[in-house]
């Protein structure tokens, strides 16, 4: 495995809330408005709340990286929706396999890693 290339590929999704955004967008067939997304993520989080500023930053970054897309609808008031693109869906599918590996390895779901 070329770990350096893999680290480069994963760089756009290594910030704290990136996976929360991607997981929630990949489970939504019609995309999500930012208000729906922040509410959902904050309801799921066990270790803090994502702020509007951080959410906007993560959405811009993930859009620039080609993982998500944005559409502004010409409604009044303006409505914006985000949805996951195929690269995000493939990444979440692959990470689900990693999650299954760790869940099968450790009965309590803890990855049980150690530092050297």
Provide the CATH number for the domain around residue 46. Answer: 1.10.10.10
Residue 49 belongs to domain spanning: 10-105
Task: Give the pTM.
Answer: 0.83
Classify residue 30: in a domain, yes or no. yes
How distant, in Å, are the alpha carbons of 12, 13, 30, 108 from that of 64?
Answer: 9, 12, 20, 37
Helix axes 52-64, 34-44, angle to 10 degrees: 110
> Total domain count for the chain?
1
Q: Which residues of the chain have pLDDT under 50?
A: 109, 115-116
Query: pLDDT tens for residues 24-54?
Result: 999 988 899 999 999 999 999 998 999 999 9
Q: Within a domain: residue 39?
A: yes
- 113 in a structural domain: no
The DSSP-derived string for 65-99 is TTSEEEEEE--SS-EEEEEE-HHHHHHHHHHHHHH
Task: Examine residue 95 and state whether it is found in any structural domain, yes or no.
Answer: yes
Asked if residue 96 is part of any domain, the answer here is yes
């Amino acid at each position: 495995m070329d770990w350096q290339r893999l680290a480069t590929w994963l760089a756009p999704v290594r910030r704290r809330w990136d996976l929360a955004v991607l997981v929630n967008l990949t489970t939504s067939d019609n995309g999500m408005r930012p208000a729906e997304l922040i509410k959902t993520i904050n309801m799921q989080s066990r270790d803090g709340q994502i702020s509007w500023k951080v959410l906007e930053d993560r959405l811009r970054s993930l859009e620039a990286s080609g993982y998500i897309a944005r559409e502004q609808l010409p409604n009044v008031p303006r409505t914006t929706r985000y949805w996951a693109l195929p690269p995000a869906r493939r990444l979440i599918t692959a990470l689900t396999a990693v999650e299954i590996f760790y869940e099968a390895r450790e009965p309590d779901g803890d990855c049980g890693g150690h530092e050297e």
